[in-house]
A and B are shown apart, each in its own frame.
Chain A
């Protein structure tokens, strides 16, 4: 208990009366079992977060707000309905347009079932909560609430409702919050507003009403572009892309990407998301190498430890796209620590494509069809069939200088003999193999492999790598940040140095001129 009290006292800017209230609440809850303490601390936690947000809004310093947002996932895990109800009571003033909606929605959330040891706890906690409400209202009597706090409470409530599977209420609350945020033009609201947008879309997605919010999101995106609200812009862009891709509207998504720019200042997580969506779009449109580079970047920008689900999706898509490009993904990429097991079907596919075994490929496709459908990679995997044939063809081409088409037919298990000739011809045209067909003799003659170093290939590779390194360097220079006024102190010194240098140069010039004179 001591720790929590200290925390309360440590906050100098909180009124004494609230401390009293907390102490009372905690005293009542102290009777409950030890497991209940966690929740009680949250009763304190939410006001503390709100105080941070208020301070950040007043000083226009986004750091404190960012800190709150960073903790949001930890808070979400521990959040209780009572904590949110208290927060609504305390911080949203009477007569506020959202108050009735928020209060009724919050009232619907059932308390988490307490562990059996603490059977008496809920009653005690409820009593404590009620007591605190009375005190808090008497003490604080908030007459106004700043938009940031309002948005924060709405976000908390929405997450609570989503976790409690009350999706309709979550959608209603988030829609209301969305409308409020839209109506406000305040730069300090950007970060919190982005959160509101996100949960607005999330609540609707889980409720299966994704299509209905599309135009609202588009409108919000336009507004945030006009307001130079970079964060809102990227979040909304990603939400829109997700929205389109969920409905397989690749055409619209592609057009959106082409028209809407992606601000450079975007945080890495959003950038990773964006690149993933972009990779998906490009993969569907058969632009595999572009898709691959997007996905690669997405994997690099994504958090390296957390976000397993995201990394898994990226890894799955990357594997398929790489195979479609005719490359074989490295084994280590498919055997990362947490991802190894879910990636196993993809590993099997990769193996089948590598060896060029059509039967094995078909077998894997059939056994894991449900998984591929769920991952929405099935249509891409279907396209791999030709790559399997070609991989087999390439192996044959490397091993034999001259082979009858009939043997190829047997080896690759192609349906009909007549097809073999065309398939081989197409592989030659696409540059998969370097060979020639002699129709009269019915054989495939491999051409000798040229010396690669006699071509321009190494030079191209060199250029590619050099420009990559130079780009990395330039990006690093651009990304360096300096404290705003650090250079000012040096300025005078620099000025003095510059004068000194100028003087020296002038002297030198003079002496040189004199020497010249001497010579003549």
Chain B
């Protein structure tokens, strides 16, 4: 067991070196990661384990946790979101169930923060809050990695979309967060577009560029086309939801009335 662990550690050291180097070769990293994962399967004390704990349990768990953390970060670099989701799910076992057995990982909150950012970017608000509940409330304001996504969520909910954009400029996550932030910008743009449709009759192209965070006019016109708006003379007109004629939902009414009749029949 000792020997296996040692080979895994040396392999991981090599992986980390490659991963941290500025000229990181993603394919090489992936190949190394795959062998590492194979090595991990030989560890006996990883969850779900049964039977007595081996003497090297703690080291095995720590190493596995670190490998998974790196794997999660790497999967963001490769823009493989499902893989990221899987690694985070695996990591949560280490963060929650082994919280007392292992020393705290310094990457725990960055990874969890990235996960929160991902949920936000994918507009999965319910899951976002479910995940947030798992993090001690004291850290919501204190830990910068957690505070960042929580703040963003509040901005989005109240509609301060500009602040979201500015927060992006702050750039807490240098490399990994960037991808999610651009995803988030997309999501926010969609939000703004649907809001504008409802709140404005028309809008100047200049202002629209500003609001939708689109840098140039051609990009704007492409977007306008995509949403089915019309643009003429530098003025965007949103497709008006023409005043709907009040229509009687006859089928529903018939259905309801029949059900009342049936119920009353049963009572009388």
* A, B: real partners: yes
Spell out A's residues near B (CB within 8 Å). Answer: 211, 247-251, 254, 284-287, 373, 376, 378-379, 382-383, 385-386, 389, 414-416, 418-419, 421-429, 435-440, 454-456, 459, 463, 466, 470, 473-474
Contact of B256 with A by CB under 8 A = yes
A residues less than 8 Å from B160 (CB atoms)? 414-416, 419, 422-423
Contact of B228 with A by CB under 8 A = no
Which residue of B97, B211, B249 contacts A456 across the interface (Cβ within 8 Å)?
B249
Question: Across the interface, do B133 and A419 meet the contact criterion of CB distance under 8 Å?
Answer: no
Question: Across the interface, do B198 and A429 meet the contact criterion of CB distance under 8 Å?
Answer: yes
Contact of B267 with A by CB under 8 A = yes
Question: Across the interface, do B137 and A437 meet the contact criterion of CB distance under 8 Å?
Answer: no
A residues less than 8 Å from B96 (CB atoms)? 247, 249
Question: Across the interface, do B207 and A428 meet the contact criterion of CB distance under 8 Å?
Answer: no
Assuming the contacts A385-B158, A428-B198, asked whether A419 and B163 have C-beta atoms less than 8 A apart, the reply is yes
Question: Across the interface, do B207 and A439 meet the contact criterion of CB distance under 8 Å?
Answer: yes
Contact of B46 with A by CB under 8 A = no
Spell out B's residues near A (CB within 8 Å). Answer: 96-97, 125-127, 129-130, 132-134, 137-138, 140, 150, 154, 157-163, 191-192, 194-201, 203-204, 207, 211, 246, 249, 253, 256, 260, 263, 267
Question: Across the interface, do B154 and A385 meet the contact criterion of CB distance under 8 Å?
Answer: yes
Which residue of B137, B157, B199 contacts A379 across the interface (Cβ within 8 Å)?
B137
Q: List 10 A-B contacts (CB under 8 A).
A: A287-B126, A379-B133, A414-B160, A415-B160, A422-B162, A423-B159, A425-B199, A428-B199, A429-B198, A463-B256
A residues less than 8 Å from B263 (CB atoms)? 470, 473-474
B residues less than 8 Å from A455 (CB atoms)? 246
Question: Across the interface, do A284 and B129 meet the contact criterion of CB distance under 8 Å?
Answer: yes
Smallest CB separation, B131 vs chain A (Å): 8
> A463: nearest residue on chain B (CB-CB)?
B256
Question: Across the interface, do B196 and A425 meet the contact criterion of CB distance under 8 Å?
Answer: yes
Question: Across the interface, do B204 and A439 meet the contact criterion of CB distance under 8 Å?
Answer: yes
Smallest CB separation, B168 vs chain A (Å): 16
Tell me, in angstroms, the Cα distance from A439 to B196 when the chains sit together. Answer: 11
Which residue of A284, A386, A429 contacts B157 across the interface (Cβ within 8 Å)?
A386
- 5 smallest CB-CB distances across A and B, nearest first, come from A426-B159, A423-B159, A425-B199, A386-B158, A425-B195
Tell me, in angstroms, the Cα distance from A304 to B201 when the chains sit together. Answer: 54
Question: Across the interface, do B129 and A437 meet the contact criterion of CB distance under 8 Å?
Answer: no
Tell me, in angstroms, the Cα distance from A311 to B165 when the chains sit together. Answer: 44
Smallest CB separation, B31 vs chain A (Å): 33
B residues less than 8 Å from A249 (CB atoms)? 96, 134
Question: Across the interface, do A284 and B194 meet the contact criterion of CB distance under 8 Å?
Answer: no
Tell me, in angstroms, the Cα distance from A250 to B132 when the chains sit together. Answer: 10
> Across the A-B interface, how many residue pairs have beta carbons closer than 8 Å?
110
Assuming the contacts A440-B204, A454-B246, asked whether A425 and B126 have C-beta atoms less than 8 A apart, the reply is no
> A428: nearest residue on chain B (CB-CB)?
B199
> B163: nearest residue on chain A (CB-CB)?
A419
Question: Across the interface, do A466 and B260 meet the contact criterion of CB distance under 8 Å?
Answer: yes
B residues less than 8 Å from A438 (CB atoms)? 200-201
Question: Across the interface, do B162 and A284 meet the contact criterion of CB distance under 8 Å?
Answer: no
Q: Can you add 14 more A-B contacts, CB < 8 Å, to A378-B137, A425-B199, A429-B195?
A: A247-B96, A284-B129, A285-B126, A286-B129, A376-B137, A382-B150, A383-B157, A385-B158, A386-B154, A418-B162, A423-B158, A425-B192, A439-B203, A463-B256
A residues less than 8 Å from B161 (CB atoms)? 422
Question: Across the interface, do A473 and B267 meet the contact criterion of CB distance under 8 Å?
Answer: yes
> B196: nearest residue on chain A (CB-CB)?
A425
Which residue of B159, B162, B249, B253 contacts A427 across the interface (Cβ within 8 Å)?
B159
Question: Across the interface, do B195 and A284 meet the contact criterion of CB distance under 8 Å?
Answer: no
Tell me, in angstroms, the Cα distance from A421 to B194 when the chains sit together. Answer: 14
B residues less than 8 Å from A437 (CB atoms)? 199-200
Smallest CB separation, A80 vs chain B (Å): 37
Assuming the contacts A286-B126, A429-B194, asked whether A419 and B256 have C-beta atoms less than 8 A apart, the reply is no
> B160: nearest residue on chain A (CB-CB)?
A419
Smallest CB separation, A43 vs chain B (Å): 44
Smallest CB separation, A417 vs chain B (Å): 10
B residues less than 8 Å from A378 (CB atoms)? 137
Question: Across the interface, do B158 and A436 meet the contact criterion of CB distance under 8 Å?
Answer: no
> A462: nearest residue on chain B (CB-CB)?
B256
Question: Across the interface, do B140 and A379 meet the contact criterion of CB distance under 8 Å?
Answer: yes
Tell me, in angstroms, the Cα distance from A459 to B267 when the chains sit together. Answer: 23
> A421: nearest residue on chain B (CB-CB)?
B211
Task: Among B125, B197, B203, B263, find the residue whose CB has the most chain A CB atoms closer than 10 A.
Answer: B263
Question: Across the interface, do A425 and B159 meet the contact criterion of CB distance under 8 Å?
Answer: yes
Tell me, in angstroms, the Cα distance from A378 to B135 when the chains sit together. Answer: 13
Smallest CB separation, A44 vs chain B (Å): 47
B residues less than 8 Å from A254 (CB atoms)? 130
Smallest CB separation, B126 vs chain A (Å): 4
B residues less than 8 Å from A414 (CB atoms)? 160
Question: Across the interface, do B130 and A285 meet the contact criterion of CB distance under 8 Å?
Answer: yes
Smallest CB separation, B202 vs chain A (Å): 9
Which residue of B127, B192, B201 contacts A422 across the interface (Cβ within 8 Å)?
B192
> B154: nearest residue on chain A (CB-CB)?
A385
A residues less than 8 Å from B132 (CB atoms)? 379
Which residue of A385, A426, A440 contacts B195 across the interface (Cβ within 8 Å)?
A426
A residues less than 8 Å from B249 (CB atoms)? 456
A residues less than 8 Å from B159 (CB atoms)? 386, 419, 422-427
Smallest CB separation, A288 vs chain B (Å): 11
B residues less than 8 Å from A473 (CB atoms)? 263, 267
Tell me, in angstroms, the Cα distance from A90 to B259 when the chains sit together. Answer: 63
Question: Across the interface, do B246 and A456 meet the contact criterion of CB distance under 8 Å?
Answer: yes
> A444: nearest residue on chain B (CB-CB)?
B199
Smallest CB separation, A393 vs chain B (Å): 10
Task: Among B134, B191, B198, B267, find the residue whose CB has the most chain A CB atoms closer than 10 A.
Answer: B198
Smallest CB separation, A244 vs chain B (Å): 11
> A424: nearest residue on chain B (CB-CB)?
B199
Smallest CB separation, B243 vs chain A (Å): 10
B residues less than 8 Å from A389 (CB atoms)? 158
Question: Across the interface, do B133 and A248 meet the contact criterion of CB distance under 8 Å?
Answer: yes
Question: Across the interface, do B129 and A248 meet the contact criterion of CB distance under 8 Å?
Answer: no
Question: Across the interface, do B130 and A250 meet the contact criterion of CB distance under 8 Å?
Answer: yes
Question: Across the interface, do B129 and A379 meet the contact criterion of CB distance under 8 Å?
Answer: yes
B residues less than 8 Å from A454 (CB atoms)? 246
Tell me, in angstroms, the Cα distance from A247 to B135 when the chains sit together. Answer: 10
Tell me, in angstroms, the Cα distance from A386 to B201 when the chains sit together. Answer: 25
Tell me, in angstroms, the Cα distance from A431 to B2 when the chains sit together. Answer: 64
B residues less than 8 Å from A429 (CB atoms)? 194-195, 197-199
Tell me, in angstroms, the Cα distance from A373 to B195 when the chains sit together. Answer: 34
Tell me, in angstroms, the Cα distance from A254 to B127 when the chains sit together. Answer: 11
Smallest CB separation, B200 vs chain A (Å): 6
Smallest CB separation, A286 vs chain B (Å): 5
A residues less than 8 Å from B157 (CB atoms)? 383, 386
Question: Across the interface, do A284 and B203 meet the contact criterion of CB distance under 8 Å?
Answer: no
B residues less than 8 Å from A419 (CB atoms)? 159-160, 162-163
A residues less than 8 Å from B197 (CB atoms)? 429
Tell me, in angstroms, the Cα distance from A247 to B214 when the chains sit together. Answer: 43
